[in-house]
Structure 1
Amino acid sequence: MTTQAERDRNADAAPPESTHGIYVYGILGSSYALPDDLASIGDDETPVRLVSHEGLAAAISEVNLNRPLGTPDDLRSHEEVLDTIAAERTVLPMRFGAVVSSVDAVVDELLAQHHELFEAALAELDGTVQFTVGGRYLDSAHIREVVAEQPEVRELRESLQGVPPEAGYDERLRLGEMVSNAVVAKREADANQLIEAMSPYVAGTAVHEVGGEDDAFDVAMLVERGRRDDFENALDGLGEQWSGRIQLRLVGPLAPYDFLPER
């Protein structure tokens, strides 16, 4: 027989916490059918699906909350889902690791609560897709150009040849600073040339900092879908112009990570 005290304790007991949540990849219009083979985040390999509300949809999948998100495989799956959708439709990428408690929370706390914001952002990005163009200087072409173009650099460099490192320390520092400043200016000029050449086909650009010694530039471009072939052909032409100097790398189509409207 259950006593009153036991019944009171059972009533006050907290419900068990759920071991699963809903991972949200991105927001898009609801009139879209997802591919069947999208690789979802999580150990259970649950399918990616859409949950809709008044013309909007969120791409979601169920995830196990007993293990932390954030592995390289998780990030790859997150980007693969978004970029696969972006190849065909405009999608607003959510921050990596966005998890809510339930499908109802996706509708009530995300789609309904931010409906106007999402609609406006989708309209602003409609008809575009992101590509990223990277450039790498071949065989230190940028350094050779700096030496050839700047007599002061060339003369200082020649004057230090054969000088013991400890004897020319200050001058070597000055030479390094001069070359570094010249390389920064050259990278900026080359990025600007890229942007100008692609400007007829893009709706926006975002220049990223580069870290490698031979990196020339890394520029995100918001490309009009209807002009994608023209964009790629123009980029091929620029690549031929820079043959032997800069090697270009095109990544995309991607979700518009760099062009989400600020609200």
Structure 2
Amino acid sequence: MTKEGQYIYAIVAANEERGFGQKGIGDREDEVHTVCYQDIGAVVSPSPIVKYSVTRVNTMVHQKVMEEGMKYYPLLPVRFGTIGERADLIKEKVLKARHDEFKDLLRYVEDKIELGLKALWTNKEAVFREIVDENKDIRLLRDRLISKGLRAQRDDQIRLGEMVKKALDAKKGREEKAILKFFKGLWVEHKANNVMGDQMITNCAFLVQKDQEKAFDEAVDKLTAKHDGRMKLKYVGPVPPCNFVEIVVKW
């Protein structure tokens, strides 16, 4: 029989145990609640002690619980898939043992939010045309390959592809730097995450003081207006500060 435990979503600044009215991870509809030690708590739900797959459903439940928690408390995200055996052990081995560490981190995040921004070119073909126009060596090699037609050497074709890739990465770097200038002075921490595909220019997370959120929103609006039609922005937040804090629990 599978042992029972408590799935841990987050550490919060809470001194009173309460239910969230939310269903936890898994298919049993266990209720999310807090367990507390002094002035900090863990957001948990009953769960069998199993390894949860990193599926969209599971990660969304984890995320939604954290988003609900941050409405009420300063919150530290806990790594996905963390399960403790019993509430009393979580209090003793996690909350009590790391109380001062968690208090310091909670003080750090209490007046901050995480905002996310992705920027993508809307027309990939237009960007590649720009690259050819901006790079004489690429243009000359491309023209030579076109003139040779079927007789074009595969090595030259590979070299052209490598040159274009290098130029594309450089272009992304320049445009990302220009994008970040719009937000100068508006963030406390910044993290550049992996970009996916040729069209994504940047995929950034920002830790921002709460009183700067409006100014950040306005900067996004200005960036959108400047690049309307050429660039698409995906702006999300506030969200739990997962890009800047991840609590790892080792039993």
Under a length normalisation based on structure 1, what TM-score does the superposition of the two structures give?
0.85
Any unmatched runs of 5+ in structure 1? Answer: 1-16
Aligned residues of 1:90 and 1:255 also touching (Cα < 8 A): no
Q: What is the number of residues matched between the two proteins? A: 246
1:69 aligns with 2:52: yes
Cα distance in structure 2, aligned partners of 1:157 and 1:37: 62
Instruction: Determine helix, strand or coil for the equivalent of 1:38.
Output: strand
Aligned residues of 1:28 and 1:57 also touching (Cα < 8 A): yes
Counterpart for residue 106 of structure 2: 122
Cα distance in structure 1, aligned partners of 2:247 and 2:4: 31
Aligned residues of 1:195 and 1:205 also touching (Cα < 8 A): no
Aligned residues of 1:216 and 1:246 also touching (Cα < 8 A): no
Counterpart for residue 162 of structure 2: 177
Aligned residues of 2:79 and 2:247 also touching (Cα < 8 A): no
1:26 aligns with 2:7: no
Cα distance in structure 2, aligned partners of 1:64 and 1:117: 28
Cα distance in structure 2, aligned partners of 1:35 and 1:194: 42
Shift of 1:32: 7.8
Instruction: Tell me the percent identity.
Output: 25
What amino acid does structure 2 have at the position aligned with 1:106?
I
1:206 aligns with 2:206: no
1:134 aligns with 2:122: no
Q: 1:97 aligns with which of 51, 57, 81?
A: 81
Aligned pair in 2 of structure 1 residues 54, 151: CA closer, same or farther (>3 Å)? same
Counterpart for residue 249 of structure 1: 234
Aligned residues of 1:153 and 1:178 also touching (Cα < 8 A): yes
Counterpart for residue 144 of structure 1: 129
Instruction: Determine helix, strand or coil for the equivalent of 1:209.
Output: coil
1:153 aligns with 2:134: no
Aligned residues of 2:17 and 2:35 also touching (Cα < 8 A): no
Under a length normalisation based on structure 2, what TM-score does the superposition of the two structures give?
0.89
CA RMSD in angstroms comes to 2.4
